[in-house]
Structure 1
């Protein structure tokens, strides 16, 4: 299990990856060629993956994302140390913020 700021990355066995994710082309890369896992609303900084792979978004506002890294990669962010990831499939989860009396929301980075 890996964590960088408000992003949690958990290894997933390939046989548990949904068939639609195996076939999905994935999200486009940003202007720097990165797969953006989370974009900071306040700073504009991004938790992003460098290296070959693809990011598949699941349905729902807080739905997890699936990340496939066939050769491994690195999670980078302007304010955190880079995290190396081995090859494989990962579930990417954004931390949620609970405010009593309101709806849970994604943490603003």
Structure 2
């Protein structure tokens, strides 16, 4: 679902997909206790929070507006995104997605190759 339209998750809460990025709401009480004080990912030169950068095109899935992005341990993330006022996810080749305020887990799609797991090239 590339349109940015929400789709229903397991608990009936909206999930969002933009290309190879899945954005899943996280209840406030489910956010790990270390996350609010964890180091935040920096914004890019354009002032955006980059969720995923296309290796081929250089295009980015990015959040514009107020918010914080925290990388969880592990080789591929995932990220936890906090949008205190809501926000928009933009990309040069996809429709923008409006997200309500709250916490989100940001997961990149992976592809399976026998013997390894790698991120999908965007």
**TM-score bracket for this pair, using the shorter chain length:** over 0.9
Moved over 2 A (4+): none
The size of the alignment, in residue pairs, is: 108
Partner of residue 87 from structure 1, selected from 101, 107, 120: 101
1:61-81 CA-partner distances (Å, limit 9, x unpaired): 123110000000000000000
For the aligned residue pairs, the C-alpha RMSD in angstroms reads: 0.8
Partner of residue 119 from structure 2, selected from 81, 86, 106: 106
Aligned to 1:22: 36
Which has the larger displacement, 25-34 or 5-14?
25-34
- C-alpha displacement of 1:98: 1.1
Alpha-carbon distance between aligned partners in 1 of 2:98 and 2:61, rounded to the nearest angstrom: 13
Which has the larger displacement, 15-24 or 70-79?
15-24
Aligned to 2:17: 3
1:2-48 CA-partner distances (Å, limit 9, x unpaired): 00000000000011101111112411100010000000000000000
Alpha-carbon distance between aligned partners in 2 of 1:64 and 1:82, rounded to the nearest angstrom: 21
Q: Normalization by structure 2: what TM-score? A: 0.86
Alpha-carbon distance between aligned partners in 2 of 1:103 and 1:82, rounded to the nearest angstrom: 32
Q: Normalization by structure 1: what TM-score? A: 0.96
Q: Which runs of 5+ in 1 are unaligned?
A: none
